[in-house]
Amino acid sequence: MLLPIVLWGSRPPSHTVSCLFLSRDDKVLISGSTEGQLLVCDVFPEALIPRNFLVGHSTEVVGMDQLVSGLNNFHIISAASNGEVFKWNVTDGSYMLSTVVQGPLIKLQTLPSSQNVLVCGQYGAITVLDYNTLDIKHHLVPSDPTHWVLCYTVFQPPKTKDEEVVCITVNGQIKTWNLQFEGREKMILESETKILNCPRPVCVTYNPRSLYNCLIVCQSIWRIYRAGDFVLLCSGASNQEVPWSGGKFYTVDKIMLWRENGVLYVYQLPARAIRPVDHSDASWSAEPPTLLYSVPTGPLMECLLVHKKSMRTPHDVLIRGDRDGRLSLWKQDREKDIASEGLVECIHTSLSKTWNKDNVALVNEKCNRCGDAVDITASVYLESLSYIACGLSSGDIIVGLVHHFLTHSLFKCTEDSEEIDSRVRLKGHKGNVSVLLYPHASQPSSYLPNILYSGGADFSVKIWDWKKVVLLQSFTTHTGPLTRLFLPPTQATGKLRGSVVSVCQDNSIAITTHAQFTPLFVGSCHHTGVLEIRWRLTEDILLVHCLDDTVYVWGLSTGHLDRIETGAVALSLVSACQTFSEGEHCKLEIKPSSSVTRHSTGLSVVPFSFSPGDNMSHLLLFDTELLLHLLSQLQGDIMTHEFERSKSQPNVTERRRASARVDQRLSDRRTSIIKQTETAKLLEERSVISEIPVENTAEIKSSSEDIEDKEDDKETLDIIKLTCSLLLSCLHAWGVDLNIDRTCVKHLGLLVPGKELSYGTVGSSSTFMLLLPGWEQSIQQQSPNTVEAPFGRWCISSTLTTQHLLSVSALANKQMSTDLTLSFNRRAKNNTAKREDKTWEREERLRQSINESEKKAGWSHVTALHCIVLPEHVPPGYCSPLLTHLALKWQDRCMEVREASQALFLRELRRIGFTGRQQLVNQWYPYIVRKRDINPPEPLEKVYTMDLPLIPEYFAKFINRPEKSRSSVSVEDEDLPADSYPVSVIILGVIVSEFPDEVEVTSVRNHVTSQERRDVIRSSFLLTHDMLRGVAAHLFSQLIKPPSQLPLHSPIRRASVDLIGRGFGVWCEFVNLTAVVMTLLELQTDPLVPIEVKKAIAQSGNIPGTGNKECLAAAATVRAAYQASILIANNRPQQTVTALSKEIMTFKCDVEAGLSIQSLSVFPSSYHTVLDKGRYPIYLLVQNIIEKTKVRDLAAIIVKIVEIMLFCIDTDQFKTRTLSELVPSLTKNVLIDYCAATQQVVVGSAEGLVHVFDVKNTKCTPLHAHNAPTSAVSLATNGRTLVTFSENEGRVSIWQSSSGLLSLMSPGPLKLVRVVDALPPLSSNHSSKSPLFKWEATKLVSLYLSDGTKKSFAV
């Protein structure tokens, strides 16, 4: 879970407008740019406020259109010139899905009526995409492949319902396609073609008012044609050198055209071009149009969009965007003339206008001359050290710990001079530092970690030792500013190993190294920019691939240009050479993270810029799950090691002093020998070292290494804790509760943000939603009377709210547990330390104890604030957490995330009340009805067709019809993720498990009439009895799915496991208990989880230790299965024990019959494998039943419990241990007794029988002791005498084994000796105490009754 925070800097990023889109409700304006990002602006009556960027496209955005979405969401689809098509949720600011279409795109348009999307590129086809999945459905292909499509539009002829696509090809032909795709092939040819004289067309559009004529704009001319037969009505030519760039119908009789220089023209159409006429009349001729006026809107106009409102609204909306990112919006009355009224601009905005120069930047420095902020022109993140190097516009380079930069730039704090001085400042460049490179990050074996390369506007490449603040080399081989730095491939040898390739603004390249004063290579005849550099080291060749696809072939050793290749030969050379250079990346992207190392801190900094001329912005990526994992790992390792070492070894200070004394002794001895004779320096050094015993030197070396490793671990731990503190300081809801804010600052070490923070969200495929500075103004404009500044963040996006609440809650819980671990370790050290108990020491310990309690209470209040209290303080604009995200995190492998998601989920369910939960059921249950690929206990069709009126009206449309594909899902379903079915199962399972009183557990169909039952169900229950059956079937299906369909340790399976256990009181009526219990037991037999971890899970319920993700996921599955089996056993103890007993009996019979245990796959139909490998989980389950069930309730199943326990325990264990040691809770029951001498277990039953188990051969001998339930049993110490008692019968039975010579080795069978009446028979006993036997002597036993009386018997 990545949480981004953006540091934009003092200057706005570039945003060259390439296309515009205004939502249908006129509230949101979106502009695409040539840099690839989408700018989302909120439109208000008197303001146009930029809100956020949607970042995902890597090239120019060429088109956008709105999708038909739900009431609360606004979806758009965007296309880029390289073929990327993205689908966005603008309301939530989240990425949904994407695809790539072959070829460069030039236009995009949606078809809401047929739920299709049309995209057109610079090739001979129009691609039809599915509305929901963006899958390619059809290709509209011209019959002649050379007729490439340049522009198109969608037209619906009058008096018809069928839409048509009308396009203009590169040779000026008009082609049309009918948009009825049902039953047609993937490749569709045009239905009509007509040749027109339209050279170099720009756009084509129809008159939306009359649908009678269409406008075709070319670069040099424009023409009006009649729709249908394309008869020319009128035309106009361009009298200027500036070509036309677009046009649309303004009114029925007017058109609006604009040129690339930003001049707007309005033409009056002739009468014959407006209304239908008879063109067969010979007197008819095309009339020229009349130019009414022209309006210069700006010289840098990139595009202009005319958005036509309905005829009921008297205003049109005109929008203009230019290359500087300026957006302007006008409203013009159709009844008034633009010339008379003038084209008056209503509102306008730009990033430069709304940008604040005091925005958050990573380095806050002022220029000494003008006092303006110093810009960051280049930066590189040293991830292995958590350092960052920033190149400034002043020419300096600052290197320091990134946490120190963030502390002083984001929060209100006094600058610590020591931390400021600890930053390294490298001075040497004159002018901007244009590029930085840290080569050790990519090739650690070839470059030292203290080497840093820099390039500047002073034409120089400098090589630094940043740790020593030394300039190693400086090369000035270029004639312009440096733009890029590359590394040679890892296979490089000789002088190339450890070098760097620099690229200049004049397109020259050079290879330099710090080991040589002159460059290794210089090449400077490239005509265009350098795209990439490829190597052929075996042939001593360097290939430079330029932007115009020209390849320059250089000789590395000679430095001569061998040849220049273009066209297909150049591309073949590039493709044949797979070795390319690695350089710095300024594009905003997330690289796949490597495995967790000891230097990982959970924070990464991504420097980026949208355009080469922009200043550097920085994206902070906090990984919450990685932070939690690192805290558990490092904290546990270091604290455990220090606690063990404190008992037997001296502290670090003493060891450091001892090591220093030994080092000083070695140094003095070496110095004295060197002074005696310098000629034998090496030999004498060896002799000096040889005089020290090997054991001592090894011990000293290992001791010093151990100290360094532990100090590094402590430093890493401090950085991780500092990262957590910074993240919590950024995410905490400041201003909601002032008392909690003071506690956070005083006791928890959090910092108050000093400036407005720009948050964001991260989607898949390296997509981002990044808030812009000033986003709080947009929130306050939407609700000026309700939303205050502290609450604005919670009114932006549901995805943002979900991620922030989850992270704060999880990290607060982890910080509380970490502080408790530290305090426990500190107290343990104080207890083991031998020192005098002074008064000041007692006061210090008391003060620490108070501080620890305040910290614990503070973290608890922070968790409660974000999990429970926050929605009560936030105004009505609160964006509640997404239940879909929380459902997927319901059983996350991370304990803190899991607990936080469950708390937030349940809080939301309680907050929305019964009505809100009913809406959730109505929204999500149809996904379960559609899923027909499972085998529920009763077919869903049969269930729902029994009584259709019992089903809510919303569900009735999904019954008795085939399952729909995602492309035909209704509009309301489009806000759901691709995995809607498992999410629906989890959401409904949580509702049923946590609110069992609101569902119909028992069917009342046979008790009331259909109409009465319908009224009761609709008013009282969320889910009916039949609906519960379907949910239970799908939960069970998620549980038993094979790993080929659902990963064994996926969160979906764990959530199903957990919900089955939580709500088993409801599900038990619909699922097979034996199948559920045996499946849960099999999940607990995972070989990836060690037995020590399983024991720890059984004892504490938590997963101890650390490991890789696969092991943690497996342990989380084992934990969920264990807890679910415990809940089921506690809910249905007798049924659980009976099911296990039957399976064990079947297993024993098969084994005795000689059947081998087959190695079956996961979740087999036979449970022999589970019983053979899962004896320990069965042992834990039954032991829990014994401990949680009352003694009198155990009487009915006690015999089966003993059978199960003896099956689980290895018989060899009884040779050294007794039954009380193996199963302590079992021997506490008065119905069970064990004799160690004979290794027999005696069990009384509710039927009056007494079962004697022989542990050696696990055979059972039943004895008919009483005609009423047995109340107590006891064996003599020698195992030859047995006494039993039945309280309801009032008799004591005495049994003895046969005596004789053979019975000395093994006692014979027990025989009834006599029966003694102890008391009158009782019909029932309501006493809480149970009768008990106690042996006073070998032949004397006493019976203590439930009323406290004692009776003795001689045996």
Q: Are 1236 and 1218 in contact (CB under 8 A)?
A: yes
- What pLDDT does 1072 receive? 87
Phi/psi at 1105 (5° precision): 70, -170
> What number is the average pLDDT over the span 1300-1326?
68
228-250 as b/e, with b when 16 or more CB fall inside 10 Å?
bebeebbbbebeeeebbbbbbbb
Does 113 score more than 50 pLDDT? yes
- What pLDDT does 698 receive? 43
> What number is the average pLDDT over the span 503-524?
85
Percent of the chain whose pLDDT exceeds 90: 7
Does 1305 score more than 60 pLDDT? no
- What pLDDT does 907 receive? 92
> What number is the average pLDDT over the span 213-242?
84
Provide the token pair at 79.
């296309």
H or E element at residue 541 = strand 541-546
Does 641 score more than 70 pLDDT? no
- What pLDDT does 938 receive? 37
- What pLDDT does 69 receive? 62
> What number is the average pLDDT over the span 1325-1329?
62
Q: What is the pLDDT of residues 273-314, one digit of tens each?
A: 776 655 555 445 556 788 887 777 665 555 666 555 444 445
Parallel/antiparallel/unpaired status of strands 301-307 and 482-487: unpaired
Does 702 score more than 50 pLDDT? no
CA distance 173 to 166: 10
Does 170 score more than 70 pLDDT? yes
- What pLDDT does 963 receive? 33
> Please, what sign has the CA dihedral across residues 273, 274, 279, 285?
negative
- What pLDDT does 1124 receive? 92
What is the separation of C-alpha 1074 from the centre of its chain, rounded to a whole number of angstroms?
36
Mean pLDDT lowest among 407-416, 940-949, 1295-1304, 1305-1314: 940-949
- What pLDDT does 681 receive? 39
- What pLDDT does 1002 receive? 67
CA distance 945 to 938: 12
Does 581 score more than 80 pLDDT? no
Does 19 score more than 80 pLDDT? yes
Confidence band (pLDDT; 50, 70, 90) for 18?
confident
> What number is the average pLDDT over the span 628-636?
74
Confidence band (pLDDT; 50, 70, 90) for 39?
very high
> What number is the average pLDDT over the span 886-892?
89
Q: Mean pLDDT of all residues in the chain? A: 77
Q: Of the ranges 178-182, 263-267, 656-660, 1322-1326, which is most confident?
A: 263-267
Residue 948 vs residue 513, higher pLDDT? 513
CA distance 405 to 1164: 58
H or E element at residue 1241 = strand 1240-1244
Does 574 score more than 80 pLDDT? yes
Q: What is the pLDDT of residues 173-192, one digit of tens each?
A: 888 888 877 777 788 888 88
Confidence band (pLDDT; 50, 70, 90) for 599?
low
- What pLDDT does 1156 receive? 53
Parallel/antiparallel/unpaired status of strands 187-189 and 136-141: parallel
- What pLDDT does 826 receive? 58
Provide the token pair at 741.
């804010």
- What pLDDT does 696 receive? 41
CA distance 815 to 750: 12
Residue the block writes with tokens 């063109």: 279
Q: What is the pLDDT of residues 1064-1110, one digit of tens each?
A: 888 888 888 888 988 898 888 888 888 888 888 887 777 765 566 77
Q: What is the pLDDT of residues 1023-1042, one digit of tens each?
A: 888 888 888 888 888 888 88
Provide the token pair at 153.
């539009």
Q: Of the ranges 348-352, 630-634, 965-969, 1199-1203, which is most confident?
A: 1199-1203
List % helix, strand, coil for the chain (3-state, nearest 5): 35, 25, 40
Using alpha carbons, list the distances in angstroms from residue 1189 to 154, 929, 1182, 1192, 1229.
73, 39, 10, 8, 11
Mean pLDDT lowest among 150-159, 941-950, 1037-1046: 941-950
CA distance 131 to 117: 6
Q: What is the pLDDT of residues 1115-1170, one digit of tens each?
A: 888 889 999 999 999 888 888 999 888 888 888 887 777 665 444 444 444 567 77
Long-range contact set of residues 1204-1213: C-beta below 8 Å, sequence gap at least 24 = 1204/1137, 1204/1140, 1204/1141, 1204/1144, 1204/1178, 1205/1179, 1206/1241, 1206/1253, 1206/1255, 1206/1258, 1207/1144, 1207/1148, 1207/1175, 1207/1178, 1207/1258, 1208/1175, 1208/1176, 1208/1178, 1208/1179, 1208/1182, 1209/1179, 1211/1255, 1211/1256, 1211/1258
Residue 440 vs residue 708, higher pLDDT? 440
Residue 933 vs residue 727, higher pLDDT? 727
- What pLDDT does 1161 receive? 40
Neighbouring residues of 605: CB distance < 8 A, sequence distance ≥ 6: 379, 381, 388, 402, 618, 619, 620, 621
Does 1339 score more than 80 pLDDT? yes
Q: What is the pLDDT of residues 1170-1182, one digit of tens each?
A: 787 778 888 888 8
Q: Of the ranges 327-336, 785-794, 1146-1155, which is most confident?
A: 1146-1155
841-851 as b/e, with b when 16 or more CB fall inside 10 Å?
eeeeeeeeeee
Residue the block writes with tokens 């326990």: 1205
Q: What is the pLDDT of residues 756-777, one digit of tens each?
A: 888 999 887 788 999 988 777 7
Q: What is the pLDDT of residues 897-910, one digit of tens each?
A: 888 999 999 999 99
Is this model's pTM higher than 0.85 or not? no
Q: Are 172 and 199 in contact (CB under 8 A)?
A: yes
Query: 814: closest CA among 870, 862, 747, 756?
Result: 862
- What pLDDT does 716 receive? 74
DSSP 8-class letter at 867: I
- What pLDDT does 955 receive? 31
Does 1281 score more than 80 pLDDT? yes
Which ranges of 1132-1258 would DSSP assign to H, the alpha helix? 1133-1152, 1168-1173, 1175-1188, 1191-1194, 1198-1208, 1219-1222, 1224-1227
What pairs with residue 177 in β-bridges? 165
Provide the token pair at 878.
């609160």
Does 526 score more than 60 pLDDT? yes
Neighbouring residues of 499: CB distance < 8 A, sequence distance ≥ 6: 488, 492, 511, 512, 513, 520
- What pLDDT does 906 receive? 92
Q: Are 1184 and 1126 in contact (CB under 8 A)?
A: yes
CA distance 53 to 39: 5
Percent of the chain whose pLDDT exceeds 70: 76
- What pLDDT does 1341 receive? 87
Phi/psi at 862 (5° precision): -65, -45
Q: Is 1322 helix (H, G, I), strand (E, B) or coil?
A: coil
